[in-house]
Structure formats: structure tokens, C-alpha cells
A and B are shown apart, each in its own frame.
Chain A
Amino acid sequence: MIKFLSNAWSNFKEYVILCLLVILSLILLSQNQNQKVQKVRAIAFGSFSTVTSVFSNLFSSARITEENEELRKANAELMMQISKLREYGITNEQLRGLIGLKDTANLPLIPATVVSKSLSLTQHTITLNAGLKDSVKPGMPVVNYSGLIGMVHSSSENFSIVRTLKNVDLKLTVKNERSRIHGIMKWDGEEFIIVNIPKTYDFEIGDRIITSELSSIVPVPLPVGLVQEIDDVETEVFKRIKVRPFVDLLSVENLFIVGIVNSTQKQNLELNFYR
């Protein structure tokens, strides 16, 4: 028996090692949500990001002039919008006061910079230099001046990994700002699409898409993108809406983490319906 095993090992050791490592990988694949695995991951990317942040600072300073120019332009546009919105805000506050609605608009913003990017067509992630120490928690939305970028996936003491919109695992409840119709938007590896929209629903090219208050991930309205194309195949029941995001996800450098996580109290209450 020992001789047989010894012969088998010497003849097939490459295959035995391959099988063992493949099995180990499959076990790890099934343990992705495990808390202990998440902790190990937080330590690993936290340590590595410390080095990366020094390195990325060198490169980001080279592009700072170009970015300053863009920010100045955005700032000027925003200044004009603010004065207009301030007027609307005062009216809105008065009207909300009259009908007794609670104000949910004051959201804390945590500034952060991208220290590394893991580009993949399906699993696009970025690492930010803000972590648990800055009160960043998994589940918080990440934005810049153009709109939504993604969600914090995991955090270490000083760094966080963000799943951007270009990640097949991130599916968002969004709505059409004009027609108020809701839908699920996802990245299919090539484009952003809102799926399973009945043909009778009102969508037009150029409509603004924002996150929906129904979303369990981003419960505040944040700009996402514009309707770019509507696929309306005659033989199919639903239409597919293609969306062009406001944010250029490949060039994001400075951004903000919105300091909110979805209320567990609200989530528990909603889940009661399924019990």
C-alpha cells in the first residue's frame, strides 16, 4: 500500500498538488462572507495600502494641475446652482414645516483619496485612504462632485476598499428623476443597464437617473447618470435601458464617503414582512 502510494505520488505529484490547491481555492470561494476572512482581508489590504498611498501620492501630484482646472470649473458651476437651490431650499423647508416632514438631507461627508485601483472588467475596486479611524464603515456610499461612485466594501483602521459601479456584484435600485419610475441598475461587464423595465414605462433618452429612496444600499437620492439608449426589442416583454454614468470611474482621484449606513432598525422592520 505504501509502495503504491509512493509510486502514485512520484508519478502524479503535479496533479495531486494541483487538485489540492484547486480544492483549497474552492473552499476559500465559499468562505467570502466569513467574518474571520473579512478580518484577515482588512489587515492584508490595510498594510499594503500604507505603502501604496506613498506611491500613489507621487503620481497624483503630477495630475494635480489638470484636476484643479476641472475643480475650478465645477466650483463655478456649483456656485451658480447653489444660489438657485438655496431659494428652493428655503421654500422647501417652509413647505416641509407646514406638512410636518422630517428633514433627512444633512449628510456628513468624509473626504478621501484613491491610493490604488484594481481594474477588472467585472470586479472594479478602488482603495481609499480613509478607514475605521475616520468613521468609515462598510455599506457607505462613495461620491464625488459628479455623482455616485460605489460602496465601501470593507474597511481597515486607515483604509477602505470600495466596490465601484463597475462591479457585477453591485446592483442598485435607481429611479428616473423625471417620471419617478424605479428599476434595478447593474454593470454587465460592458455597460450599465436598468433591467426588466416594462415596455409601457416612461423612459426617454437624456433622462437623469438617481438612486432611489427604496434602495437598501443607498437610501438617499444621489446622481448616477443619464439614459443613453433604450433597447426595445419587439419580441421581448421588457426593455433594457442603457445608462451613461456621470462619473468617469477610471480617473477618480479625490472623493467623499457619505457617512450613512442603512438603518438596521428600518431593515429589520422591512424584513418582518418576510417572516
Chain B
Amino acid sequence: MNWRQLIPLIIFFPLLLLQVTIIPLISIESIIPDLLLIAVVYYSILHGQIYGTILGSIYGILFDLIAGSLLGSSMLSKTVAGFIAGYYSSETKRDQYLNSYSFTFVIFLCALTDTAIYSFFSAWDFNINLFRILFNYSLLPSIYTTIISSIVLIIPYKKGFN
């Protein structure tokens, strides 16, 4: 492990600070983008699947502990999201995924998985329609996260987070 692989752990707290103080100001009907997920996906593509899976679980458990959500729910959802993002981490295609709009596609896919798993554990109720859960709790936040993630594309990745 080199020092660059420690950067995501260092930026976790500033990101979480943004997530709980500034991001609520741009919420739309309680729907907010997930900065932590964007970071997990980015570093998962950059450093590989195993790294992404472990990073997802660390980000998830810290978020659960600090934000007061159901302990283990974010850990599970972000672990799986990091794992899926890792599939787009091949040596040959890494640049392509991090520098093009393919990144937003990966974000959308991972955000959809992340929010679907999170919602399943935090909001499952037999009275609620499964389609409604997926639409309200999963699809809409995923779209918002995807839109915000396009900002990452403005930053050249070799000068930015790497």
C-alpha cells in the first residue's frame, strides 16, 4: 500500500462534513446526492475491486456510526457498491472510465445498488409497494448523485484526487 491509497481515508471527514452541513442546503424534497458514494466509486475504479470493497465498508460503517442511521445498513450498501465499481477498474480502461461520461454511468449503477440495498434495510414495510421503494428511495437519489458526480469530470484525475 502506498501513501496515495490513504488519501480516501484522509478525505473521508471533510467529505462527511460537506455531506451533513452543506449538501442539505441543496436538497430537493429530502433527496440529496451522496458524496461518499462518489468517492467510493472513484477510488474503486482507481485502485481496484478489493480496495473499493474495503473502502466502501469503511466509509459505510463510519457514516452509520456518525450519522445515526441503522448501523450496518450503509456499510452493506457501500461495500456492494464499491465491489460493483471495481469491475470497471481494468488497467486498460481506467482512464476511459474516469475521464469520460462513462464515469457517470458507473456512478448511476452503483448509486442505484447502494440506495436499493440501504432502503431495503431501513424502510422495508409490507404495506409499501416495492416499485415505490425503488422509485422514491432509490432511483431519484441515484439520479441526483449522478448529476453531481459529473463535476468530478471537470477535475483532471491525475491532477485531482490521484
Chain A interface (Cβ < 8 Å from any Cβ of B): 13-14, 17-18, 21-22, 24-32, 37, 40-41, 44-45, 48, 51-52, 55-56, 59, 116-125, 127, 153-154, 161, 163, 166, 168, 188-190, 195, 250
Is B35 on the interface with A (CB-CB < 8 A)?
Answer: no
Across-interface contacts of B66 in A (CB, < 8 A): 44-45, 48
Interface of B (DSSP majority class): helix
Taking a contact as CB atoms closer than 8 A, the residue among A55, A56, A121, A153 that contacts B68 in the complex is A153
- Give B65-113 interface residues, CB cut-off 8 Å to A: 65-73, 75-76, 79-80, 83, 86
Which residue of B is nearest A49, CB measured? B66
In Å, the complex CA distance between A163 and B60 comes to 19
Shortest Cβ distance from A127 into chain B, in angstroms? Answer: 7
In Å, the complex CA distance between A122 and B134 comes to 12
B79 near A18 with CB under 8 A, answer yes
Taking a contact as CB atoms closer than 8 A, the residue among A13, A32, A124, A188 that contacts B72 in the complex is A32
Contact with A along B1-40 (1 / 0, CB 8 A): 0000000000001001100111111010011100000000
Taking a contact as CB atoms closer than 8 A, the residue among A22, A121, A125, A168 that contacts B79 in the complex is A22
Query: Assuming the A-B contacts A22-B79, A119-B32, A121-B30, are A190 and B68 also in contact, with contact meaning beta carbons closer than 8 angstroms in the complex?
Result: no
A-B contact pairs, 7 of them (CB 8 A): A18-B83, A41-B65, A55-B21, A119-B32, A120-B30, A123-B123, A250-B24
Chain B interface (Cβ < 8 Å from any Cβ of A): 13, 16-17, 20-25, 27, 30-32, 49-50, 53-54, 57, 60-62, 64-73, 75-76, 79-80, 83, 86, 118-119, 121-123, 125, 127-128, 132-133, 136-137, 141
B24 near A117 with CB under 8 A, answer yes
In Å, the complex CA distance between A29 and B61 comes to 11
Across-interface contacts of B128 in A (CB, < 8 A): 188-189
